[in-house]
Amino acid sequence: MKRALLELVALLATANLTALSGQVSPGPTIGGEHIALVGGTVINPADGKITRNATVFVDNGRISSIAAGMVMKYSGRTINCLGKFILPGYIDTHIHFFQSGDLFTRPDVADLTKVRPYAEEVAWVKSHLPDVFSRYLRSGITSVVDVGGPFWNFEVRKTAKATAKAPRVAVAGPLISSVSRPQLDLGDPPIVKIETPEQAREFVRKLTAQNPDLVKIWYIVDKDHPVESFRPIARATIEESHAHKIRVAVHATELETASTAVEEGADILVHSVIDKPVDEAFVKLLKERNIILCPTLVVFERYGRTFSHQLNLTPEEQKWGNPEVIAALDVTKIPPDKLPQRIKDALADPKAALDKINKTYEVALPNLKRLEDAGVTIAAGTDAGNIGTIHGPALFREFQLMKEAGLTPMQILQCATVNAAKLFGGETGAHIGKIENGYFADLVILNSNPLDDIKNASDIDTVIKNGVVYPADSILR
């Protein structure tokens, strides 16, 4: 009897809502509208709170209130969310706009410039920025952090801010590095070799003129660049950045380098430690310093899988990734005489490529679980733009890998919302990642419950960015 009454109430509510709104999923709307999202289950990963049959009110692009009940009459526009799930928009905290994700985007890794000149590749990337923006929104990603690229990165941020159908964008400028990458230098290099502390300070001062959201250090440890040689440059970079109130993110995949970076004052680690298990001293260090770590699990498999012709794109990537990029990832289409040796070797022994990936995950996944269990702030990110890591939907492969590491759906959602907002930072970061009064109305509405299975995080019905409502299937039209 009770169940029948509940079903009757739901039917009556649906009838009222349909009469008020005229249709169930209209849009896109004009920003600034007064909107009520009625009858859905609100999942707020920030505190783990779940509110069923809730109404979320949006005014002028911000959340104005959340009511624990359905509203039967409303002077503004209503959207029927009965049976649906409302979450903060996802945030990918590690991407690179200057890279397309195709085979030609990193000639320093695999030189295919005889097939496609790098200048042509970069021109294509710049001309397709609106398309990339749209693919992030289609994936429910309403904010991204670009953690390093050429100075034209700052123009990308400006363009995104002026584009309605685009995520919010935080950026770093060129990466401060121990090595040079001349193959990527077309006059505005994404990676700059810094050899002395004074050079580091001078370059940070140059960056500050562009008001970067982060400064990024990309330190590659090898026999010519030991960890100890990294300390003075890291210290100078971090001190100068902090003097200008800018946080510093460090690429560090080795335990020793990651520890050194944090000891020298880094704020963010932008990859997993993959060379050995993290120890108690490292966990304690990260907690004491309130470090944010972005694991970027997906990128560790995509180079090897692409080069060995074993790419495992998800259904979301196949549907929402750029089809030109995906088509260009087929190494078998490259004339054999133009294949770099690295790709030839991978094709000759594909099992070795998979073995290497598995060994990486045998370290990276338990490390992530240990850090999560210890209370270290983990922010979801993909390193999208690197070869085989698709802008937008790659985040859902990242979710799968986080699940394999042992994280619960709620923990994964926390990593992609409230924790990711902390990495985004600034005034914007303080107003995204939660469903709370005064926060930006950046929301994703799902057809199925992601807490039942994180795979449902991609079952997207509607995306709302800054109060503008986009039915998901309309975004890429």
* Same structural domain, 342 and 359: yes
Q: In the predicted model, is pLDDT for residue 235 greater than 90?
A: yes
* Same structural domain, 162 and 57: no
Q: In the predicted model, is pLDDT for residue 24 greater than 50?
A: no
Tell me the β-bridge partners of 207.
Answer: none
Least confident interval from 5-9, 58-62, 159-163: 5-9
What integer is the mean pLDDT of 452-458? 98
* Same structural domain, 22 and 158: no
Q: Which of 187, 151, 189, 185 is nearest to 171 (CA)?
A: 151
What was the pLDDT predicted at 219?
82
What was the pLDDT predicted at 229?
84
Give me the residue label for tokens 């050429």.
150
What was the pLDDT predicted at 31?
55
What integer is the mean pLDDT of 234-259? 96
Taking the C-alpha atoms of residue 128 and residue 361, their distance in angstroms, rounded to an integer, is 33
**Is residue 379 within 8 Å of 293, Cβ to Cβ?**
yes
Q: In the predicted model, is pLDDT for residue 384 greater than 90?
A: yes
Least confident interval from 5-9, 384-388, 395-399: 5-9
Is residue 228 very low, low, confident or very high in pLDDT (cuts 50, 70, 90)? Answer: confident
What integer is the mean pLDDT of 194-204? 97
Q: In the predicted model, is pLDDT for residue 441 greater than 80?
A: yes
* Same structural domain, 99 and 230: yes
What integer is the mean pLDDT of 19-48? 69
* Same structural domain, 255 and 402: yes
What was the pLDDT predicted at 458?
98
What was the pLDDT predicted at 224?
82
Which CATH number covers residue 62?
Answer: 2.30.40.10
* Same structural domain, 405 and 289: yes
What was the pLDDT predicted at 227?
82
**Structural domain count, the chain:** 2
Tell me the β-bridge partners of 51.
Answer: 42
What was the pLDDT predicted at 11?
39
Rounded to the nearest integer, the mean pLDDT of the chain is 93
What was the pLDDT predicted at 246?
98
Q: Percent of the chain having pLDDT more than 70?
A: 93
What was the pLDDT predicted at 181?
95
Is residue 69 very low, low, confident or very high in pLDDT (cuts 50, 70, 90)? Answer: confident
Q: How far apart, in Å, do the first and last CA atoms of the chain sit?
A: 45
Which CATH number covers residue 166?
Answer: 3.20.20.140
* Same structural domain, 405 and 466: no
Which tens digits make up the pLDDT trace of 81-92? Answer: 999 999 999 999
Q: Which of 450, 468, 408 is nearest to 86 (CA)?
A: 450
Rounded to 5°, the CA angle 396-457-408 comes to: 85
What integer is the mean pLDDT of 426-433? 98
Q: In the predicted model, is pLDDT for residue 359 greater than 80?
A: yes
468 is in which domain, residue-wise?
Answer: 2-88+435-474
Tokens standing for residue 209 = 């003129």
The pTM of the full predicted model, rounded to 2 decimals, is 0.93
What was the pLDDT predicted at 36?
95
Q: What is the largest CA-CA distance in the chain?
A: 77
What was the pLDDT predicted at 20?
33
* Same structural domain, 364 and 276: yes
* Same structural domain, 255 and 382: yes
Tokens standing for residue 68 = 């624990």
* Same structural domain, 422 and 353: yes
Q: In the predicted model, is pLDDT for residue 17 greater than 60?
A: no
What was the pLDDT predicted at 388?
98
Least confident interval from 56-70, 85-99, 431-445: 56-70
* Same structural domain, 288 and 413: yes
Q: Which of 157, 162, 141, 291 is nearest to 212 (CA)?
A: 157
Is residue 70 very low, low, confident or very high in pLDDT (cuts 50, 70, 90)? Answer: low
What integer is the mean pLDDT of 377-396? 98
* Same structural domain, 194 and 237: yes
**Is residue 92 within 8 Å of 382, Cβ to Cβ?**
yes
